[in-house]
Amino acid sequence: MGRDEGIIKLLQKMMPNFKFTFMYIPGSRLIHELSDPNKNFCTLSLYKTPKRQKNIAFTDSSSTIGLPVSIAMRKSEIEKLNISTAIPLSLVNLLKNTNLMLGAIPNRSYGLEIDTIISNTKPKQLIFRPGNNVLESITKMLVMDRVDIVLGYPDEHEYIAKKLGLVDEIISLMITETPKFSEGYIGCNANELGKQNILALEETLQKMHKQKAFYKILTRWLPRNFHPSIKNILNNKN
C-alpha cells in the first residue's frame, strides 16, 4: 500500500463521524476537478501555489512530509554518463549537457524551482504523460528507453520499482534544485462543504502529526538510512 493510501486510511480511522468515498481521477484532470466549485472532492499531497489557492481550499497543516523531488534514471544510463549516486546533481546541467528526455506528469507541481526548469526545458527534451497511474506508466517508458529521466519522489520511485520488479534497473538520484524536504497539503473544492471538510481535516492532521502511525507511513517506502531525516523533520514541527 502506498504512502497516500495509508494516510487516507489513517484519516478515515481518526474521523469515524465522516463518510469516506474513494474515487480515482486521472492526474491530468485532478486540478481541474478541484477547481470546480460545483464539485466536492478532496485529495492530499498537493503543493500549495498562489494560482491553486485562488480556486482550491487547502489545509494549513501538511498531509504528507517527504524528501524532496528526485529523478529516476536507468542504471545503465547512469553508468554510461559516469554519474555519482552519492551526491546530488544539477538537473539543469544534466538537461543542458545531454539530449536526455525528461518525463513529467501534466498539471502536477513539483515546487517553484523544478516547475520553472520544466517550463524552460526544450520541447524536444520533454514528454508529458497523461492518464491513470501516470508515474507507473512513465516509469515503464523509462525502462523501454522512451524517456531517460523521470521526476518524482524517492518513496514513489522505490514503491513503483518494487511493484514492477525493477529495483536493480532504476536508481533514484537527488538533485540540487530542491529544498531539504517537501510538504503536501489536503485540497478540497472551495465551496461551503469543501471549507467545512478542510476545517475538520486540519484538526485531525494536527493530531496525526504526533502519532507514531503517521511516521511509519511516511517512512514505509523509504530506505532505512532516510528514516532519521523524517523523524527530525517531525520533531522540529511538533
What digits encode the pLDDT tens for the residues 149-191? 999 888 788 888 888 998 888 988 889 998 777 789 999 999 9
CA distances from 216 to 5, 219, 225 (A): 13, 5, 14
User: What's the CA gap between 167 and 206, in Å, rounded?
Assistant: 35
Which pLDDT score, from 0 to 100, does residue 78 have?
95
> Among residues 133, 157, 174, which one ends one of the domains?
174
Number of domains in the chain: 2
Which pLDDT score, from 0 to 100, does residue 131 have?
63
Q: Which residue has the cell 514541527?
A: 237
| Whether residues 76 and 160 fall in one domain | yes
Q: What's the DSSP call for residue 48?
A: P
pTM of the model as a whole: 0.63
| Whether residues 48 and 74 fall in one domain | no
Contact between 187 and 56 under an 8 Å Cβ cutoff? The reply is yes
User: Which residues have a Cβ under 8 Å from the Cβ of 80 and sit 6 or more positions away?
Assistant: none
| Whether residues 77 and 111 fall in one domain | yes
Radius of gyration of the chain (CA): 18
Contact between 182 and 69 under an 8 Å Cβ cutoff? The reply is yes
- Please tell me the chain's helix, strand, coil percentages from 3-state DSSP, rounded to the nearest 5: 45, 20, 35
Instruction: Please provide residue 42's backbone torsions phi and psi, each rounded to the nearest 5 degrees.
Output: -135, 145
Which pLDDT score, from 0 to 100, does residue 132 have?
65
- Give me 154's grid cell: 524517492
Residue 199 burial (CB count, 10 A) = 11
Q: Which residue has the cell 526545458?
A: 121
Question: Average pLDDT by consecutive 10-residue portion of the chain (238 residues)?
Answer: 86 96 84 94 91 96 86 95 89 95 86 91 89 82 94 85 87 86 91 97 96 90 72 80
Query: CATH number of the domain that 158 lies in?
Result: 3.40.190.10
Which pLDDT score, from 0 to 100, does residue 107 have?
79
| Whether residues 199 and 230 fall in one domain | yes
Segments forming the whole domain that contains residue 201? 3-65+182-237
Residue-wise over 78-99: b if at least 16 C-beta within 10 A, else e? beeeeeeeeeebebbebbeeee
Which pLDDT score, from 0 to 100, does residue 67 have?
78
Which pLDDT score, from 0 to 100, does residue 232 have?
83
Which pLDDT score, from 0 to 100, does residue 223 have?
62
| Whether residues 75 and 167 fall in one domain | yes
